[in-house]
Chain A
Amino acid sequence: MRFNTHYRPAHSLTVVELGPNETVRAEASAMISMTRNIRVATTGPLNRSTGGFFGGLKRAFLGGETFFTNTFTAENGPGHVTLAPALTGDMLVHELAQNHQLFIQGGSYVAAPDSVQLDTKWQGMKGFFSGESLFFLNATGYGPVLMNAFGAVQTIDLDGELIVDTGHLVAFTSGLQYTVSKASAGWIKSFLSGEGFVLKFTGRGRLYVQTRNPAEYGRSVGRALPPREA
């Protein structure tokens, strides 16, 4: 299995090259195109890799991902599937090694082979003013994990401390601890400053940061759109 990403960093598309009978599991809405010999199955919630029945439900309602994922298998020879996210931005692959973990912010996960297991780890902290909620998918096992970012990706190998705005976090590896706090002292200042919640990371590990904030983008553009029914 190979992931080749083109048109980086803004309008990225990943071509997943599959050998005969190879399968990739991908988020439902990410498929753009594929060769005619790809067999698609919709995995229901009863699949161990996707976290089991309750894992599926948890992911659907808390993880920011769609309920069902698709498996794409190349039949009678090699084939490919092209995947892309909904928003402008880059795509990246993290090679997960056995006994290491990757925590992926909900909405950023795109695809991985079956050798990678996903579970929902819930932070449960809803940003009071920012409207951001923190949910992470916990990836274990081994293999390439394809993720998307809103904007470009900054890869930071941290050894020390760093404060990151929650809306700009894509993923981080084990080895890092974090605490959540408001960006400004006081609620009024938080409201006026426009900054929401921040994560203070300490330790040694890798952070993937995106250069745009989806919730902030949603608010900037959303408020200019015509009103909707409640």
Chain B
Amino acid sequence: MVTRTPALQMETRLNAGKRAGFFRVIVAFFVALMRKFLGGETMFVNEFGGPAGGEVVLAPSLAGHIMTKQLAPGQVLFVQRGSWLASTGDIDAKLRFGGLRTLFGGEGLVLLECKGVGDLFVNSYGGITEVPVDGKFIVDTGHIVAFDGSLDFKVRSIGGVKSFLFSGEGLVCEFSGRGTVYVQSRNLDALVSWLTPLLPG
């Protein structure tokens, strides 16, 4: 949050999914606490609202763009966890991990499966380029902002000498089918690799 008018209230709650049962909420709570202490992104969200209305100004932490997507009934958009900024209306965002390791280390691709009706605000590190896919397309996982639910995707590591190709863990996502992939032009892992030799001890 950057600024807000005083009458607006802020409530912090767990983002376990709109129709989460009791068990799911408990699991979500423990996952969130673990991730918070291990330095990962949390599943807590802040809800701004109030009887008198008001204005809140939000900004992400990295430099880049904010894209607004209006979700219609039946439409699914997968958003990379760090790219979700805010939503209005009745949008359900379910956390999807790319395997058990991602629970702790933030490795792999952590996605929010977004469904429902409302406005979805997505941020990027860098600019956002829309790439229409019809066939096969490969994207470095650190550069994925979001993609249509109509696409099939497979995360794999490049491995071998070729792992030097890509910054970070050398993970890429192979998309197939028809749909749009939203690609960001900068990548936090690449920034880390670039800065590391310049850091004092």
Contact = CB atoms under 8 A, between A and B. Distances in A.
Given A225-B199, A228-B200, A164 B2 contact: yes
Interface stretch (B17-25, B84-92, B155-163, B189-197): B189-197
B3 A162 contact: yes
Given A192-B42, A217-B62, 18 more contacts: A151-B63, A161-B6, A162-B4, A165-B2, A184-B12, A192-B12, A192-B36, A193-B46, A194-B42, A209-B2, A209-B3, A212-B61, A219-B61, A220-B188, A224-B189, A225-B192, A225-B195, A225-B196
B26 to A, nearest CB: 16
A228 B199 contact: yes
A212 B63 CA distance: 8
B59 to A, nearest CB: 5
Interface residues of B, number: 27
B61 A229 contact: no
Interface of A: 10, 88, 151, 154, 156, 161-165, 168, 183-184, 189, 192-195, 200, 209, 211-213, 216-217, 219-221, 223-226, 228-229
Given A192-B44, A193-B44, A228-B201, A163 B62 contact: no
Contacts of B201: 228-229
A217 B61 contact: yes
A193 B3 contact: no
Interface of B: 1-6, 10, 12, 36, 39, 42, 44, 46, 57, 59, 61-63, 188-189, 191-192, 195-196, 199-201
A126 to B, nearest CB: 20
A10 B2 contact: no
Contacts of A162: 3-6
